[in-house]
């Protein structure tokens, strides 16, 4: 048998380690650096074929995803979970009122006051507080008390000596007109106020200024709580914690209702706030745009991770056993990132399989691993290393930096694709100065640029497959709608939006561009959460809140899973020499380290400004300058 194998290898001129990117063995005569333009073109064609997603494949993928979505609507335990979110009703843009939002999910707690002004306009004032490490690891009751005191202080600072339910006309006269450009930071001196500055190691939260007894229900602020951890949601404002992630390990909390515990803290601290809804960031994205663009029917995250939600008819949610609802439809959180863990239709390459195999959760979140910002850079790095092993790139030389997992940030891909200098100087800088490749030729840089282009293009086309499945499931292909999309892949990655639309045109015909609009939607965890609180409160006052049922979390796996894969390499990064610390942080994208760097500089309100796409969720939560209350009037554009 061995001699037969050797004869086969000899006759085919094969080396055991040389393979095409798609897993097919490759002839030795094609290895080595390209000697002329024809060989370069052949290598580029090989890469293009490796990552190409044909129209036939896109149709198969979208149809299979639609089938999996229907399975998830019919039964629990499906691969695509299709989680009922208990959010029913749609904003019209004419609602008015002041609502609060809390966003807990990392180093900072963000508190927002959202003033819905009607006429599709709103204003936001917000503040963030650093959560001490001791509270992340201590008793959850202490963390709840901290949150309550921060919230009480925030309310008092907004309305010194007045009612918390004062109308929008009582806002500071310095508020600019809605629709004007807003500053990314505030010049307020409150950042030095010792009662509000909690960016230190003390466990003490700011003192609450509220000494009055708790008001009746109608006198309370209604709050949307974005809780970015896995929970079993049992109603619009009830959720049982499954486990902690992202550096939290609070005791006295797992398998308990986190909303009830936080509401009890509000009572203890006499903070007149009712938690009207526990919020998923993807659903928040849908609502954040729907207030300004009421025809918004789908919300999507395309950033660190990926997910989608949409309105589904209650009659088609066969597994629902929660009783009557306020309307005949409910928002469904698809959790589409888990699609095709069975590997039935996604066009996996050897590079995708390697990334999956070395992740913390192999054979899970396969769709996400092929299209989200967390993984695109890692896929590209593996392709580059594969070409190095074949002596096609860099004369066969790599570097210690390039050999580190997750060092090739998705932001590098973006910069390389945007590099239009004659000799690709920005690409040279990234490869030689940042990643320490000894030397690169122009041909090397051109091939690396093509790798990035192909990986990014494939991600956009696969994302379009997901949109196509949701459009068909919700019967919106002919009717049309606006799709609200958050995340810096969509916002900043070169041609991502146009490549998605081109794929949709291939799937549905050119008319789809007139029926379906892709629009940027920001701040689902703030604005979106407040709007969900408004809808939930309105339904509750009518007595339309669904009865309790068991449903998996509407907290997105899209946000949870990618961070865990990066944390696998945190120890390795921490032992790097001191003079490489800043570079190590950028390369590995570790959440805690990045947030510590961000606190030393003014944080721009640009969702990461396109510089680190796979960390936009962290930066979005830190878009204010540290400890400054900011009043930001906004009006979402109807189109991007």
Q: Say how far apart CA 349 and CA 356 lie, in whole Å.
A: 11
Q: Is 228 a catalytic residue?
A: yes
Q: Which of 250, 259, 201 is nearest to 232 (CA)?
A: 259
Helix (H, G, I), strand (E, B) or coil at 543: coil
Q: Strand pairing partners for 298?
A: 310, 483
With tokens 């903070």, the residue in question is: 271
Supply 492's token pair. Answer: 């900043």
- Out of 62, 153, 208, 228, pick the active-site residue: 228
- Out of 281, 356, 419, 605, pick the active-site residue: 281
What are the strands, taking DSSP E only, across 60-185? Answer: 83-84, 96-104, 108-118, 121-130
Q: At what angle do helices 37-51 and 442-473 cross, to 10 degrees?
A: 20
Dihedral over Cα of 426, 430, 431, 434: its sign: positive
Q: Which of 413, 404, 416, 335 is nearest to 377 (CA)?
A: 413
CB 199 within 8 A of CB 187: no
What are the strands, taking DSSP E only, across 502-567? Answer: 516-520
Taking each continuous run of H as one helix and of E as one strand, the counts in the chain are 22, 16
CB 316 within 8 A of CB 72: no
Q: Which of 311, 284, 342 is nearest to 67 (CA)?
A: 342
Angle among Cα 386, 388, 391 to the nearest 5 degrees reads: 120
Supply 66's token pair. Answer: 């639609």
Q: Which of 132, 77, 114 is nearest to 527 (CA)?
A: 114
Residues near 54 by beta carbon (within 8 Å), at least 6 away in sequence: none
Q: Is 556 a catalytic residue?
A: no
- Strand ordering across the sheet containing 273-279: 273-279, 221-227, 96-104, 108-118, 121-130, 630-634
Q: How many CB atoms lie within 10 A of CB 29?
A: 7
- Out of 62, 88, 103, 110, pick the active-site residue: 110
Q: How many CB atoms lie within 10 A of CB 601?
A: 9
Q: Which of 635, 637, 638, 634 is nearest to 125 (CA)?
A: 634
Q: How far is CA 528 from the centre of its chain?
A: 14
Task: Please give the backbone phi and psi of residue 518, each rounded to the nearest 5 degrees, phi first.
Answer: -100, 120
Q: Which of 370, 358, 440 is nearest to 399 (CA)?
A: 440
Dihedral over Cα of 6, 9, 10, 15: its sign: negative
Pairing of strands 83-84, 296-302: unpaired
Residues near 589 by beta carbon (within 8 Å), at least 6 away in sequence: 374, 406, 409, 566, 612, 614, 615
CB 265 within 8 A of CB 148: yes
Catalytic residue numbers?
110, 228, 281
């Amino acid at each position: 048998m061995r001699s037969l194998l050797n004869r086969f290898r000899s006759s085919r001129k094969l080396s055991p380690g040389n393979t095409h990117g798609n897993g097919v063995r490759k002839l030795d005569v094609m290895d080595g650096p390209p000697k002329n333009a024809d060989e370069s073109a052949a290598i580029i064609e090989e890469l293009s074929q490796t990552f190409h997603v044909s129209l036939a494949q896109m149709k198969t993928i979208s149809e299979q995803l639609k089938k999996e979505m229907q399975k998830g609507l019919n039964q629990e335990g499906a691969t695509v979970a299709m989680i009922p979110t208990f959010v029913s009703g749609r904003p019209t843009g004419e609602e008015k009122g002041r609502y609060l939002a809390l966003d807990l999910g990392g180093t900072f707690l963000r508190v927002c006051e959202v003033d819905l002004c009607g006429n599709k306009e709103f204003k936001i004032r917000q503040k963030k507080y650093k959560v001490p490490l001791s509270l992340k690891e201590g008793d959850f009751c202490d963390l709840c008390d901290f949150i309550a005191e921060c919230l009480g202080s925030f309310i008092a600072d907004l309305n010194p000596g007045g009612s918390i339910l004062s109308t929008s006309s009582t806002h500071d006269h310095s508020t600019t007109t809605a629709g004007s450009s807003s500053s990314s930071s505030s010049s307020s001196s409150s950042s030095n106020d010792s009662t509000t500055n909690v960016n230190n190691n003390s466990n003490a939260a700011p003192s609450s200024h509220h000494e009055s007894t708790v008001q009746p229900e109608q006198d309370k602020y209604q709050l949307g709580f974005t809780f970015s951890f896995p929970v079993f949601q049992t109603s619009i404002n009830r959720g049982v914690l499954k486990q902690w992630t992202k550096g939290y390990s609070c005791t006295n909390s797992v398998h308990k209702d986190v909303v009830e515990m936080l509401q009890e803290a509000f009572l203890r601290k006499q903070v007149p706030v009712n938690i009207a809804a526990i919020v998923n960031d993807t659903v928040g994205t849908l609502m954040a745009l729907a207030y300004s663009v009421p025809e918004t029917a789908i919300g999507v995250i395309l950033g660190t991770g990926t997910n989608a939600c949409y309105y589904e008819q209650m009659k088609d949610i066969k597994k629902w056993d929660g009783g009557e609802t306020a309307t005949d439809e409910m928002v469904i959180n698809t959790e589409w990132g888990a699609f095709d863990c069975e590997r039935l239709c996604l066009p996996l390459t050897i590079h995708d399989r390697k990334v999956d195999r070395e992740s913390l959760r192999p054979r899970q979140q396969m769709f996400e691993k092929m299209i989200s910002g967390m993984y695109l850079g890692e896929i590209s790095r593996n392709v580059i290393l594969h070409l190095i092993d074949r002596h096609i790139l860099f004369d066969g030389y790599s570097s210690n930096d390039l050999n580190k997992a997750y060092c090739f940030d998705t932001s590098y891909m973006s910069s390389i694709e945007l590099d239009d200098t004659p000799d690709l100087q920005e690409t040279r800088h990234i490869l030689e100065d940042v990643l320490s490749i000894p030397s690169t030729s122009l041909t090397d840089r051109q091939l690396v640029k093509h790798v990035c282009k192909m990986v990014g293009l494939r991600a956009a086309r696969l994302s379009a497959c997901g949109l196509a499945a949701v459009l068909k499931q919700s019967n919106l292909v002919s009717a049309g709608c606006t799709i609200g999309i958050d995340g810096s892949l969509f916002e900043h990655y070169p041609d991502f939006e146009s490549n998605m639309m081109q794929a949709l045109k291939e799937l549905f015909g050119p008319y789809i561009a007139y029926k379906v609009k892709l629009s940027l939607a920001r701040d689902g965890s703030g604005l979106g959460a407040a709007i969900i609180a408004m809808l939930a409160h309105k339904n509750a006052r009518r007595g339309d809140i669904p009865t309790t049922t068991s449903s998996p979390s509407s907290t997105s796996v899209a946000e949870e899973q990618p961070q865990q894969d990066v944390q696998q390499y945190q120890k390795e990064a921490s032992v790097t020499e001191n003079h490489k610390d800043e570079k190590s942080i950028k390369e590995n994208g570790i959440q805690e380290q990045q947030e510590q760097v961000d606190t030393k500089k003014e944080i721009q309100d640009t969702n990461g400004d396109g510089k680190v796409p796979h960390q936009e969720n962290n930066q979005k939560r830190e878009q204010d300058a540290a400890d400054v209350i900011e009043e930001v009037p906004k009006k979402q554009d109807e189109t991007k």
